[in-house]
Amino acid sequence: MCKICTNADLCNFQTGELNEYTERSEMPNEIMCMALGQVPEGEQRSWFLAVGLADNTVRIISLDPNNCLSPCSMQALPSPAESLCIVEMGHTENTTTGANDEPTERSANTSTKGTIYLNIGLSNGVLLRTVLDPVSGDLADTRTRYLGSRPVKLFRIRMQGSEAVLAMSSRTWLSYYHQNRFHLTPLSYETLEYASGFSSEQCSEGIVAISTNTLRILALEKLGAVFNQVSFPLEYTPRAFAIHPDTGRMIIAETDHNAYTDETKNARKQQMAEEMRMAAGDEERELANEMANAFINEILPEETFSSPKAGLGLWASQIRGLDPIHGHTLFKIPFVQNEAIMSMCVLKFNIAADGRYYLAVGVAKELQLNPRITNGGSIDIYKIDPTCSNIEFMHRTEIEEVPGALAGFQGRLLAGCGRILRIYDLGKKKLLRKCENKHIPYQIVNIQAMGHRVYVSDVQESVFFIRYKRAENQLIIFADDTHPRWVTATTLLDYDTIAIADKFGNMSVQRLPHSVTDDVDEDPTGTKSLWDRGLLSGASQKSENISSFHVGEIIMSLQKATLIPGGSEALIYATLSGTVGAFVPFTSREDFDFFQHLEMHMRNENPPLCGRDHLSYRSSYYTVKNVLDGDLCEQYLSIDPAKQKSIAGDMFRTPNQICKKLEDIRTRYAF
C-alpha cells in the first residue's frame, strides 16, 4: 500500500501487519494522482508505482524492497494528469532478459504474460497509453487519443478474463484487447462518473457505476463491434432521407414496388368481401355475411404474414418525419397508389421571405422498370414547420419526365427531369421554370452544387461539370469525364474534386486540372470549328482521374464526414450489402510509402484463400490508382508472428512499430 503523507511525500506500507518502510520519498511537486499495478501471479508485491505530479510529469517509482521508492523513469505530459491506471494486456512474444542476457527474478515468468501498459488520463480530455518495461520501469511507445471535453478518469475492470480500462470523459470509453488488437470503443450509454468492476453469480463480469445520483450495474456485450445500431421499423423501403438543419430531425421517403397503399388494401378487402357475398346462394347468405365481416375485421400483422403482393408496375409511397434520438414518428404523408418517390431535398427559396425550409419531393407516376415506361412525374413542394413536427402541402408541378434528382442551388431548386437539367423558383400555384440544359445524354441520377458550379451525374456517362451564368441565365457544360461510369453515388471533396461510385463496385476520384476554366460560352449558332467543339463527343475540357479502387460491393452512399470528436475528415461509404467503410487521406508521403510497402509484403506473404491475385481483384474494371487496401494491411495483426517479424525486418522496423502505425491511422479517423 502506498500513501501520500503530505502534498509531496510518499510512504510505502507492507500489508498484513501494515509495517512502514523507513524511507520516505519527497516528490519535487504536488502529487495529483497515483496508481499501483496488480500483484503478479506467484509474487507478493507490485514492482512499480506510477505518480502524476502537478508539473505535468508522470514518474515511475520502484517498490523493490532493496531499492524502495527510488525513481525509475519520467515522462513529460502536455497537460496535468487527472488519473493513472496500470494494466496488463495482450501477449508478449518472448522472455525479457536483463543486461547480461540472463532472466531476472521479475522477467522469468513473463513469457506467458501480457504487456504492462500505463494509461494516463489528462485534464484536457486526452488519454495516453504507454508501455511500461517490467524490468527497468522505462516508459516507451506512447499512443494518444482524444476522448472528450472533460478530464479523463480511469478505472480498472475485468473483461473476458483479462484486464481492461474504463475511461470516463464527456462520454465513457472502454479500452480492451480483443482478437489480437487493441480496441478503444465508446459505450452506447449515459455519461458515467465513477465505476468499478463487479462480479456476481448472475453477472460474472459486470460494472457498477454512478451516473448523477443513481447507482447502475452494467454488463458489456458485442466486444469488437465498431458501430452500435438501433433499428426503427418502417412500412416501406426507405429510398432517401433529408435532415432538417435546425432540429436534426429526419424526413424519410419510403417507396416500395409491387406493394399496395393502406387505402388500396382496404378497398381490396371490401371488394373481396363483396365477392364472397355475391358468390353465396340464398341459403348461405347469412353465413357468407358473417365470413365477409370477419374477413374485413381480421388484421394480420405484416411482420409475420408478409404484405400482399400487388403486381408489377404498382407502387406505394409515403413521407415520414422521424425523431432519430427516440425513434418517434412525427408525421406521415401517404401518397396515392402508383406514385413512387424518386428524389427529395430540403432547401430555402430566396423568393420566400419567411426564412422557412421547404421540402421538394420528386414523384414518378405509373413507372414500369423494364422496359422503362412512365406516365410523367411531378415535383411536390411542402413547407416545413420550424420544429419539423409537421409539413404543409403547398402545390404540385406536373412535368413530362421522372424527376431523378433534386438539389437546392442559390435559393432555387435544381431538378433533373429525365435527361434535362432545370432551375425552378417558387411560385404561388406551381414551380416556375427559369432555365434548362438539354445536353445530358441519358438520365440524371444525382446533382451536387457548390458556388456557381453544378455537378450532374448521368446514369451511365459519369459526371458533367456545369457552370451557371446568372447574367445570361444559362447552364453551360464546361468539362466532363473521359470514361463512362454507371453512377450510384457522388460527393464533393472540394470545388474541383468529386468522388464517384458506380454500380460495378468501383470508387474513383475525379479532379479538374488547373488549366480548366469554367468561364466558357455556349455556341448557339454552331459556327465554331469542328475540332473546337469537344473531345470524345463531349465537352472541350476533361477531368483527371486521381484515384480508382474496386470495393467489390455496390456503393449506395458517399459522404465526407468526421466519425470521432477531434478526428480528421474521411470519405465514408455504405454499400448495398450493408457494409460501412471509409477511405482516409494520407497526410504525409512517408505514411504513403510505409503502407505501400506493407501492402506489397502482405500480398506476397498472405495471399487470398481462393488464390485470386489481390492486385487483379482491386483492378477489376479500372486499374487501381493511388489507393492502398487497408483491409489487407490490417491482416498483419492476425498473421503468424514469424511472418510478422520477417515483414518487419524487410521494412527495417519492429512488429510493434508496424502495429502502432496501423493503430494510429485507424484512430486518427475512425475508431
Segment 601-657, tens digit of pLDDT: 999 988 888 888 999 999 999 999 999 999 999 999 888 889 999 999 999 999 888
Residue 97 lies in a domain: yes
- Give the CATH number of the domain where residue 453 resides: 2.130.10.10
Quote the mean pLDDT of the chain: 86
Say whether both 278 and 427 belong to one domain. Answer: no
Say whether both 291 and 332 belong to one domain. Answer: no
Round to whole Å and give the CA distance between 476 and 6. 77
Expressed as residue numbers, the domain containing 482 is 439-520+539-584
From residue 121, give the alpha-carbon distance in Å to each of 3, 77, 79, 334: 20, 10, 10, 52
Q: Which of 248, 283, 308 is the last residue before a domain boundary? A: 308
Grid coordinates in use for 98? 536483463
Residue 532 lies in a domain: no
Percent of the chain with pLDDT over 70: 90
Residue 526 lies in a domain: no
Q: Which of 384, 402, 431 is the last residue before a domain boundary? A: 431
Q: Which of 404, 431, 458 is the last residue before a domain boundary? A: 431
Task: Please tell me the chain's helix, strand, coil percentages from 3-state DSSP, rounded to the nearest 5.
Answer: 15, 40, 45
How far is C-alpha 285 from the geometric centre of its chain's CA atoms?
61
Say whether both 612 and 572 belong to one domain. Answer: no
From residue 481, give the alpha-carbon distance in Å to each of 200, 444, 445, 523, 538: 64, 15, 16, 21, 9
Amino acid at 279: A
Residue 529 lies in a domain: no
Amino acid at 168: M
Over residues 160-172, mean pLDDT: 88
Q: Output the pLDDT for position 663.
A: 85
> Which of these, 577, 574, 579, lies nearest to 558 by C-alpha position?
574
Dihedral of the alpha carbons of 106, 110, 111, 114, in degrees to the nearest 10: -170
Say whether both 574 and 646 belong to one domain. Answer: no
Say whether both 303 and 330 belong to one domain. Answer: no
Round to whole Å and give the CA distance between 288 and 273. 9
Say whether both 265 and 253 belong to one domain. Answer: no
> Which of these, 347, 352, 508, 539, lies nearest to 439 by C-alpha position?
539
Say whether both 350 and 460 belong to one domain. Answer: no
Total domains in the fold of the chain: 5
Residue 227 lies in a domain: no
Say whether both 59 and 107 belong to one domain. Answer: yes
Round to whole Å and give the CA distance between 539 and 99. 72
Grid coordinates in use for 545? 482521374
Report pLDDT digits (tens) over 324-379. Answer: 988 899 999 999 999 999 999 999 999 888 889 999 999 999 999 888 889 999 99
Q: Output the pLDDT for position 293.
A: 85
Report pLDDT digits (tens) over 522-574. Answer: 655 444 434 444 555 678 889 999 999 999 999 999 999 998 777 789 999 99
Query: Highest mean pLDDT range out of 93-102, 366-375, 500-509?
Result: 500-509
Measured at the CA of 319, the angle between CA 315 and CA 320, to 5 degrees, comes to 130
